[in-house]
Every structure is written in C-alpha cells, then in structure tokens.
Amino acid sequence: MLSAPEVLKNASSEGESWTGNSKLVEWVHNSCGQGSAGVVNGLIFRQLFDKESSTFTYILGDELSREAVIIDPVDTLVERDLSFIGELGLELKFGLNTHAHADHVTGTSLIRNRLPPGSFKSVISASSGAKADVKVKQGSKIHFGNRFLQVRLTPGHTAGCACFVLDDDSRVFTGDTLLVRGCGRTDFQEGDSSTLYKSVHEQLFTLPDQCSVFPAHDYRGRTSSSIREEKRFNPRLGGGKTEKDFVAIMKELKLSTPKLIDVAVPKNMACGV
C-alpha cells in the first residue's frame, strides 16, 4: 500500500488533474476502510474515551473537504487525538468545549499550540465567562466543510453549559447536561437544578426522538443514547418526572467532589488562550 506522501508524489508526477487533496482523501478512504466504517452520509465520526476521567471526546469530519472539529478533548490525550486526526487525513478547525469542566483539563490549549497559528480555534459559550478564540451564543453555528454544529445553551450543571446539535438533528453532544440515564450534578460552578430541568426539557427533549445523544461522560460503560430513550427512561429527568421531583433527587445525590476541581476549573476558564 502506498503511504500518503507517495500518493501525493505520484499524483503530481503523473500530471493528473485534481484539486485540493482528493488523492489524499482517496488514500485515506482506501487504507482506513472509510467506505464502510465510521462514515455515514459524508460525516466522519469517532468517539474516544479517557479512562482516568471517564470523559468522551468526539471527532467529527466532513468527508469531502476533510475539515474537522473536536469536542471536549482531554489534555493528557492530545497526542492520541492528533495522531488519529492525522491518520484520517483531517484538518482540525475548531476545538469545542461544552463547558469549563471540573474533573479534567481541556486539551484545546495544547492542540492550539501544536497547530499552525490561526488554523485552529478554541470554542466555549460566552455565558461560561471563560477565555477562548470563539465565544458562542444560542443558535451560533460552527462550520466544518459542508457540515455544521449549532449551539443550544443549557445552563444548570454550570451556568455556561452548551450542547452542540448536528446540522441534520441526527446527533446532539450534550456535555454534562444530559448523560445516559443521568445528568450533570448541580452542586458547584453556579449549578442549579431547576435551571437544568428547564434546559433539558426546553432545549434537548424538543429535539427529534431519534436524535442520538452523545454525552461527555459515562461511569458505567455506556456510550450513547437517544432523546426518545432519555425522555422515557432517564430516572432523574424522564418518565414524567416534574421539576420538583428533579430538584429533590438532585439534593440527595451527595457525590464526592471531583479530585481535580481546584486545578481543572482555573485552567479551563482560560481554555485555548
């Protein structure tokens, strides 16, 4: 099998007429099995996991243009993520943070330092009060190639939480707002249970039932869910639970404080800058 540089060399020496990196795309397509695995309707999609913090990181790429975004990268796994992105022939444009995490440090600063100046931008909601290259609001769109993610602000776990909905409403990246059969805690970082209940019901449970839910964490080996499933089976927020029920449930959680909170929050408030 040819390596990527060999493909490029052969393409130019044979004087073929092609634009951009279409030969490279073809090489990646053939060598990585992209025709069958991980590409649906032109979207390259990968879910990655950090076992230290039980955090999911997501890579989404536009198959044709190869432009890509990463959601919630973890600082200790930036090398893994960048080599994956390189192997897939993707050009990383944005690093999206669903919020200023309390349990791990974002990788967006390190990624920004590793890529050519100006080529990659860190993203977080304006309402988080954190620093970033791009501060998004309700309805803001982050474009990669022909695809985009649209912002839905979902305060409650933190005041600055945001979820990212794919252009065709097929997937939503929920951060800690909505977890599989759970949700983010509300006992620090301006957390508020009533606000979280409203965010989930107004911003997430209004998405199509078949929309897939991709959270920032899972502690029990689950990877994804759907809006329909969470509306029916989420023991805190679904199955007809009222706001009052939810507030009472959240009061009784009594979770231990994240081990890295004192390091992670200040660093994450300066993400990527």
Among 136-144, 159-167, 206-214, 253-261, the segment contacting ligand L3IBWBLD (CB under 6 A):
253-261
Chain mean position to CA 99: 10
Which residue, 71 or 102, has its beta carbon nearer to ligand L3IBWBLD? 102
Helix (H) or strand (E) holding 62: strand 55-62
- State the binding string over 27-56 for ligand L3IBWBLD (x if CB under 6 A, else -): --------------------------x---
Shortest distance, position 269 Cβ to ligand L3IBWBLD, whole Å: 14
Q: Does 102 bind ligand L3IBWBLD (CB under 6 A)?
A: yes
Q: Does 129 bind ligand L3IBWBLD (CB under 6 A)?
A: no
Q: Does 176 bind ligand L3IBWBLD (CB under 6 A)?
A: yes
Give the integer Cα–Cα distance in Å for 189 and 257.
12
Beta-carbon contacts of residue 110 (< 8 Å; ≥ 6 apart): 75, 78
* Side-chain half-sphere CA neighbours of 85 within 13 A: 28
Please choose, from the candidates 178, 170, 217, the residue with its C-alpha nearest in 3D space to the C-alpha of residue 199: 178
Beta-carbon contacts of residue 22 (< 8 Å; ≥ 6 apart): none
Q: Does 184 bind ligand L3IBWBLD (CB under 6 A)?
A: yes
CA angle (59 as vertex; 54, 63 as ends), nearest 5 = 160
Q: Does 111 bind ligand L3IBWBLD (CB under 6 A)?
A: no
Q: Does 99 bind ligand L3IBWBLD (CB under 6 A)?
A: no
Q: Which of 129, 169, 241, 258 binds ligand L3IBWBLD (CB under 6 A)?
A: 258
Biggest CA–CA distance in the chain, Å, is 70
Binding site for ligand L3IBWBLD (CB under 6 A): 53, 102-103, 176, 182, 184-185, 217, 219, 255, 258-259
